[in-house]
Chain A
Amino acid sequence: MPDGFSPQFVRLGGLKRYFDVSAPWLVRALERKPRQIVQAVDGIDIEIAKGETFSLVGESGCGKSTVARLVVGLYPPTAGSIEFDGNDMARRRSRTDMAALRRRMQMIFQDPFASLNPRWRVFDIIAEPIRAFDLSKDKADLEKKVGDLLRQVRLTPADGRKYPHEFSGGQRQRISIARALASQPEFLVCDEPTSALDVSVQAQILNLMMDLQRRFNLTYLFISHNLAVVYHISTRVGVMYLGRLVEVAPTDMLFRRPKHPYTRMLLDTIPDLDMTGRQRMPVAGEVPSPIDPPSGCTFHPRCPAANERCRIERPNMIPIEGGSVACHAIEEGRLPIEDRVYAARSLD
């Protein structure tokens, strides 16, 4: 971890979020159905340092989007704590204090078409946080601020008069980014911001986000299912499976020496664009339903290294080589850790 950063800018402790998806009680009483709870997030511990990009990866249903929404306060947690710059977000505060904290964190969403109100002009969309947090003195100042924000995301102030449907997907994401930056936040939660975009547009948006991070010293929590993207922009990576963290490590370490069997399988699913002839090893089985997860280590039905203990006992995160992993096989030394090498792609 580089010096000069205050540790634990954002800290999630034992974070849990359960959703009750039971049938209405009348149906349950008549048909004797049990209560059904989805353990979307089942005990997450994450620490993010100021200025770093922490990526959360996993497949659909692993709970990473739920974590994002928990962090910005869209859902209240079922259990556990969220700390932002030393402030416990669950503590009751006055409206002004809460607003002051909210101002410092914002969110960027996945769907460029649904994340902007189709009936509002772009100017008003970007100005909304400024108005809500009372950050500008008068109309002229507001216009200047919005114009600056638009320029920062490589659009023009004239674009403020248009409506969202007049822009392409990539441009809309830029507008979303401008809106997120309007309150001058320090922490941005990005929920798959480029997953809905074409590859060339994705490159533009990722470059933009990295530029902005450098310029404004932003901290990112980046949610994604695309490991290649994560490789390029993250400082540290956390891998989630069925609501739990299975491995956390600095980026280089995670990709070079993956430890958890699920991490290894995920890395194997990255397509081989370098045409080395490496065959993707298809992962066996499918992700089980989060309503009825397997016992013990939830990955054990699909894990080639699972033993009896894995079936019964849930593994804890243990520190290893600068990161941590939740795996009995690693802990017991049964699973060797190997280096991986990826071919550098040459283009002529």
Chain B
Amino acid sequence: MSDIASDSGWLRRAADSDIWWSFKSSPMTIVAAVATLLIIAMAFLAPLIAPHTPFDPATLSLSDGLKPPVLLSPDGDWSFPLGTDDQGRDILSAIMYGTRLSLIVGMASVVVAMVLGIALGLLSGYLGGTVDALIMRVADVQLTFPAILVALLIDGVVRGLISVQRHDEIAVYVIVGAIGLSFWVQYARTVRGSVMVEKNKEYVQAARVIGLSPLLIMVRHVLPNVMGPVLVIATINLGLAVITEATLSFLGVGLPSTEPSLGTLIRLGNEVLQSGDWWITVFPGATLAALVLAVNLLGDWLRDALNPKLR
């Protein structure tokens, strides 16, 4: 059944739409969305709301080191609610800044992958022939490697080329590039498939009859129609990107300890885990898990909501 036409603004239309209704009727999705928003808010407001600045050496004092979480031990201190690490850094603040970095890296690498993947997918699907064959063979080859390995490879190559200090400065960009380059294939393939379907539809032929250039047709006509599945992949990929970055940092080849992400924090905590100071690993780990879970649930809902067959 088609919706009744409404002349009023897009906000009213959005509120009226099937997507909003399916969102409202799934409590798990609402919880996931709220959780994601809270985590994102916490992360980006970190400079304002974090009680400490854990990565400014001037504010640290070793005497605060290895304090346990305040509620679980009499040694705790309310100014360090989740405890501190061996350098005296507040875990709570570290988590806030770390999540911020994880999210920045995650989102940026998803954007890189998306832009690259969509561009190549569009070209591949619309132009076909040799261009298509070439791009798809590159994609096939890349798919034989796990994304982590590709990211490791790129990161390793960059490290080999520049000094350690310089590398630490641009580590964020390198990681974003590495993860982005390892994820583009999924987008390209999906977009290519959709493009090949849309290309034969008559509205594209109508545009060709007018005489528009292929580039114009690809961007203005085809692209808006293939974005749906891309958004779903992007949302789920966000979780994956964050995990990948965490893995790389955990392995020591990601973000350095001077600018730690959640993964780096987990690594740092891992080193003292054996001696019973568990909070340094567990709290960042729990935050990471919660973030990825919430984002994945959102992605699941989005996929179902955008699937016309299930509506």
Contact = CB atoms under 8 A, between A and B. Distances in A.
Interface string A111-126: 1001111111000000
Given A72-B209, A106-B209, A115 B2 contact: no
A72 B201 CA distance: 16
B173 to A, nearest CB: 34
Contacts of B203: 114-117
A10 to B, nearest CB: 15
Residue from B205, B210, B211 with most neighbouring chain A CB atoms (10 Å): B210
Given A110-B202, A158-B7, A165-B2, A117 B221 contact: yes
Contacts of A176: 206
A20 to B, nearest CB: 13
B5 A99 contact: no
Contact of A109 (B202, B211, B224): B202
B5 A109 contact: no
Interface residues of A, number: 31
B207 interface: yes
A273 interface: no
A72 B225 CA distance: 25
Nearest to A166: B5
A111 B5 CA distance: 21
B206 A179 contact: yes
Interface string A75-107: 000000000000000000000001100100011
B212 interface: yes
Contacts of A117: 203, 221, 224-225
B206 A115 contact: yes
A98 B211 CA distance: 9
Nearest to A109: B202
A119 B202 contact: no
Contact of B209 (A98, A102, A110, A161): A102
Contacts of B5: 162, 166
Contacts of B56: none
Nearest to A117: B203
A166 B2 contact: yes
Nearest to A164: B203
Contacts, number: 58
A293 interface: no
B201 A114 contact: yes
Given A161-B7, A165-B2, A111 B211 contact: no
A122 B89 CA distance: 59
Nearest to A102: B211
Contacts of A107: 205-206, 209
A102 B225 contact: no
A132 interface: yes
Contacts of A106: 209-210
Interface string B7-18: 100000000000
B208 interface: yes
A64 B210 CA distance: 21
A166 B3 contact: yes
B221 to A, nearest CB: 6
A167 to B, nearest CB: 8
A132 B209 contact: no
A279 B210 CA distance: 46
A107 B212 CA distance: 14
Contact of B207 (A98, A128, A162): A128
Contact of B208 (A74, A116, A129): A74
Contacts of A179: 206
A288 interface: no
Contacts of B225: 117-119
Given A107-B206, A179-B206, A132 B2 contact: no
A109 B210 CA distance: 13
A129 B203 CA distance: 13
Interface string B209-227: 1111000000001001100
Contacts of B2: 165-166
Interface in A115-162: 115-120, 128-129, 132-133, 158, 161-162
Given A117-B221, A166-B3, A179-B206, A99 B201 contact: no
Given A119-B224, A166-B5, A114 B209 contact: no
B58 to A, nearest CB: 54
A107 B202 CA distance: 10
Contact of A74 (B7, B201, B205, B212): B205
24 contacts: A73-B209, A98-B211, A102-B211, A107-B206, A109-B202, A109-B205, A109-B206, A110-B202, A111-B202, A115-B201, A115-B206, A117-B203, A117-B221, A117-B225, A119-B225, A120-B221, A120-B224, A128-B207, A132-B211, A132-B212, A161-B7, A162-B5, A165-B2, A166-B3
Given A162-B5, A165-B2, 11 more contacts: A73-B209, A74-B205, A74-B208, A74-B209, A102-B211, A109-B202, A111-B202, A117-B203, A117-B221, A128-B210, A161-B7
Interface of A: 69, 72-74, 98-99, 102, 106-107, 109-111, 114-120, 128-129, 132-133, 158, 161-162, 165-166, 176, 179, 183
By Cβ-Cβ distance, the 8 closest A-B pairs, closest first, are A115-B202, A119-B224, A109-B202, A166-B5, A114-B201, A117-B203, A102-B211, A114-B202
